[in-house]
Amino acid sequence: MITQFANPLRFQKLSRPLLWISNIGALILSLWGLYLALIGSPPDYLQSETVRIMYIHVPAAWLAMLCYSSMAFAALVFIVWKHTLAGLYIRAIAPVGATFTAICLITGSIWGYPTWGTWWVWDARLTSVLILFFLYLGVVALCDAFENRDKSLTAAAWLCLIGIVNMPIIKFSVDWWNTLHQPSSLSSFSQIAQPAIAGDMLTPLLVMAGAYLCLFATLAIIRLNNEILLRKLENARLRESRA
Amino acid sequence: MDFFDMNGYAQYIWPAYGTAITLLLGLVVSSLRQNRKLKREIKALEQPQKTA
Amino acid sequence: MMGSIIKRDWQDVRNNPGQALMTPVFFVLATLLFPLGLGTDPQLLTLAAPGLLVIAALFSSILPLETLFQADREDGTLDAILSSTGTLTFYTIGKLISHWLFCGLTLVLVAPAMAVTLGLGGYWLDVLYALLPATILLCLIGAFGSAITLGTKQGSILLALLVLPLYIPVMIFCAGAIDMIRAGESNFAPLLLLWAMAALAIPIMPLMIAAVLRFQIKT
């Protein structure tokens, strides 16, 4: 199955209908989600209106982690099976993941000030997400570090693989250490069935998460196409300079 | 008006939402622009071959 | 193979001690400068000492990384080893051992003396215990960063960018371990974590580094 999707041309054909779906999904879900987040949901008992920041902070965190995990998977595929698309995917997606992580850090910091009284604290979750951000920057830098594009992508892939140890640390840091950050409310299936978070707040959260996911899909498709085009352009230029 | 005031927390909520939306839209815009630029350049590369 | 690499690096140290012993020398200089910067209030120094020691260890560990594999790559040693034996694993293990002996173990041995200058004199043994697994990890992670950025244009900045995020957990636990002893608590937990990380890293990292070096030379 992996070999079927490895063909760039096939991907380009598939990407057009997929792009339509994710565009429409992103539009609908984000408008609905923003409405719910800002107007259609109640303020928190303790945090008043600032809880609304949760609706853009938490999905950003989820996507930052999803993005990195997908990159690590692509890295594995690239290193082991040498699929071109997997390598291009890493280069395409790394800036997107970095952006989601930045949004998570910035909105989290803004949320932290009225809630905890501080813009930043060096607890386990915040520190490990910051590390995630630097890992993303490292991948972005590595993708262009060598003159040979394939070599750069392989190096970036290796970094992705090593950095995957950060993922469980981020996820479980609020369980393993006593931290200032709120423990997870949706971490197990029993919790999803009977969530520790109110339904009025769960809906906007999930809708925004869906919106973020569709946006991620859109960005992934456009940027992966860009990488394929870039490779085509570079090959064509190379051929021209030889001819 | 209470919507924009957010019970006094406007100085936190709007910058947060603003940053998130700006960054994400910025990504989308830059990706689309890169897409158009690449398509243009590939076309330009293929054109002289067609006329020649 | 491993033995010959270690022997060869030992010769390098004897011929050019300044270059090869960069790490402990820089560590000593850095820790000696901290009191000058912070003022000599002994209580402040003792409080800050665990973090300062670890930061100094970190920066001095990064110094030799850029040239770790560079010489061997440039004079063709890596190519020769790969084509004759087909694997870089033993070379890597030998190189890592010699790297740790000269840049990690030396740090561990020198650190207790530096701890005394920063006001942690009574805890010198704990400093040693904490730095032992920490330097192993710093060497392994650093060598990985060095291998990945081998031959890039902006080597050192990229190296620091890659290696520092991975160093941070090591730093946190090592400083935490020393600090807990200073505060009178048992530092079993961070020490255990450090050794657990080292136990994971020691079998895995040499193989990964060898694989990275391999693709570096092949392309």
pLDDT, averaged across chain C: 87
**CA–CA dist A183, C62 (Å, integer):** 35
Range ranked top by mean pLDDT from A170-179, B25-34, C17-26, C168-177: B25-34
Place of tokens 């959260």: A205
**CA–CA dist C116, C49 (Å, integer):** 10
Average pLDDT on C171-182 reads 88
Query: Chain A residue closest to C150 (CA)?
Result: A146
The pLDDT score that the predictor gives to residue A5 is 53
Is the CB of C215 less than 8 angstroms away from the CB of A151? yes
Is the CB of A56 less than 8 angstroms away from the CB of B6? no
**CA–CA dist A123, A129 (Å, integer):** 10
> In one letter, which amino acid is A234?
E
CB C187 within 8 A of CB C176: yes
**CA–CA dist A236, A242 (Å, integer):** 10
Query: Chain C residue closest to A134 (CA)?
Result: C165
Structure tokens at A170: 């981020």
Query: Each residue's pLDDT tens digit in chain A (243 positions)?
Result: 455 555 777 788 888 888 888 888 888 888 888 888 887 777 777 777 778 888 899 999 999 999 999 999 999 999 999 888 999 999 999 999 999 999 999 999 998 888 888 888 888 888 889 999 999 999 999 998 888 888 899 999 999 998 888 888 888 777 777 666 766 666 555 555 555 667 777 888 889 999 999 999 999 999 999 999 999 888 888 888 887
Is the CB of A159 less than 8 angstroms away from the CB of C151? no
In this structure, what DSSP letter does residue A48 have? B
Closest CA to A95 of A141, A27, A148: A141
C123-162: burial string, b at 16+ Cβ within 10 Å, e else:
beebbebbbbbbbbbbbbbbbbbbbbbbbbeebeebbbbb
Is the CB of B7 less than 8 angstroms away from the CB of A99? no
In chain A, residues with a C-beta closer than 8 Å to the C-beta of C169 are 128, 131, 169
Q: Is the pLDDT of residue C195 over 90?
A: yes
Question: In chain C, what percentage of residues exceed pLDDT 70?
Answer: 100
Task: Indicate contact of B with C: 3+ CB pairs under 8 A.
Answer: no
Number of neighbours of residue A102 by Cβ within 10 angstroms: 18
In chain A, residues with a C-beta closer than 8 Å to the C-beta of B32 are 222
The pLDDT score that the predictor gives to residue A58 is 92
Q: Is the pLDDT of residue C142 over 90?
A: yes
ipTM: 0.85
**CA–CA dist C194, C173 (Å, integer):** 7
Q: Is the pLDDT of residue B2 over 80?
A: no
The pLDDT score that the predictor gives to residue B33 is 94
In chain C, residues with a C-beta closer than 8 Å to the C-beta of A137 are 161
Q: Is the pLDDT of residue C7 over 90?
A: no
Which chains does B contact via 3+ CB–CB distances below 8 A?
A: A
pTM: 0.85
Tens of pLDDT along C105-122? 999 999 998 888 888 878
Residues in a beta bridge with C189: none
pLDDT, averaged across chain B: 83
Closest CA to A16 of A222, A231, A214: A222
CB C20 within 8 A of CB C9: yes
The pLDDT score that the predictor gives to residue A1 is 47
The pLDDT score that the predictor gives to residue C6 is 82
More confident residue, B52 or A140: A140
